[in-house]
Amino acid sequence: MNQVGVIHSRRLFLQQILQSRRHLTLYDQSSTDLLFHSIKLDRDKQKQNQKQKQMQKQLPWRRKDLTGNSLIASTLEEMENDSEFQLSLQNLKQMGQKKLTLEEKKIRRRALDDLNVPPFKEFKEAGGDRRRRQCEVLQLNIGLYCNQACNHCHVESSPQRSEMMTRKVADECLKLLKNSKSITTLDITGGAPEMNSEFRYIVEKAREIRGSNLDIIDRCNLTVVHEPGQEDLILFLKKHNVS
Ligand SMILES: C[S@@+](CC[C@H](N)C(=O)[O-])C[C@H]1O[C@@H](n2cnc3c(N)ncnc32)[C@H](O)[C@@H]1O
Ligand code: SF4
């Protein structure tokens, strides 16, 4: 999502909040099990800059010889100054991570109706096939760090998140891929998955293990190609036939 998209989604989000303020409703974010309310936004600019520098030091894969226009500084600033973001943070704090309200359930049901997804009871009564099938897609969320902080983001990614899949866990996942012949698609997501230092390792190893016999998806937010050190990302994705 580009910056215009982010701003647009924030406007939409504000409208949703204003419409639903009477019920203090927060849609998708209300059911996440991430402890979003425990993340404190740092209002002290100096502290924030220090934090950012520290985080950048921890990004060893960042190539110093390449420079791009990073969104990270402006994202952090927006998170601090954006009244909608602050409002949603306040509401989350007030609501905690409690279960869905009836109103929220109705909203979700309407969204599923729009997609022609029947309620489970109806599906069952209509004799829908409930047998487990072989697993075909291995989806890996390799980290919540992101150069953006979309208000709609259901995993609450942002430059303030630091969770990253380690090499050890990546190797375990690759073992799983190797031993699970039914898997035909490797779906890599995040955060901005490319900003995890293991991203390229995972792609290269997955290709090595399964050759052309595997679809690899990179859930790329596209703005990441402007981040310093990601200038060769498109070529890398092309080389390894990643879609
Ligand atoms: C969390 S993102 C991670 C990958 C990448 N950063 C991106 O934005 O595409 C994975 C997918 O979830 C979608 N997504 C994010 N928040 C969502 C929400 N609240 N409801 C439904 N889909 C959402 C995004 O549009 C994206 O396609
Ligand atoms: S992971 Fe990043 S780009 Fe993707 S939806 Fe979340 S904040 Fe936006």
Per-residue pLDDT tens digits for 22-58: 444 443 444 444 444 454 444 555 665 666 666 655 5
Q: How far is CA 35 from CA 7, 38, 100, 124, 183, in A?
A: 24, 6, 16, 34, 32
Count of CB atoms situated within 10 Å of the CB of 173: 19
pTM for this entry: 0.69
Task: Dig out the tokens for 154 from the structure.
Answer: 């259901």
Q: Is 79 in the pocket of ligand 2 (CB under 6 A)?
A: no
Domain annotation covers residue 110: no
Q: How far is CA 80 from CA 18, 56, 84, in A?
A: 20, 19, 10
Domain annotation covers residue 119: no
Q: Is 48 in the pocket of ligand 1 (CB under 6 A)?
A: no
Extract the runs of DSSP E, i.e. beta strands, from the chain: 137-141, 185-189, 215-218
Domain annotation covers residue 30: yes
From the number of C-beta atoms within 10 Å of its C-beta (0-12, 13-18, 19+), residue 126 rates as: exposed
Residue 184's domain comprises: 1-99+132-243
CATH code of residue 77: 3.20.20
Distance 123 CA to ligand 2 centre (A): 32
Domain annotation covers residue 28: yes
Domain annotation covers residue 115: no
Q: How many domains does the chain have?
A: 1
Average pLDDT, the chain: 79
Q: What is the pLDDT of residues 137-186, one digit of tens each?
A: 999 999 999 999 998 898 989 998 999 999 999 999 999 999 999 999 99
Q: Is 190 in the pocket of ligand 2 (CB under 6 A)?
A: yes
**Which mutation among 6, 148, 154, 218 tests ligand 1's pocket best, with the greatest number of atoms within 8 A of CB?**
154
CA torsion 166-62-231-71 (nearest 10°) is 90
Nearest-atom number in ligand 1 for the CA of 146 is 6
Q: How far is CA 25 from CA 21, 48, 107, in A?
A: 6, 30, 11
Q: What is the pLDDT of residues 206-229, one digit of tens each?
A: 999 999 999 999 999 999 999 988
14-28, 85-99, 109-123, 164-178 — most confident range: 164-178
Q: What is the pLDDT of residues 119-138, one digit of tens each?
A: 989 998 999 888 888 999 99
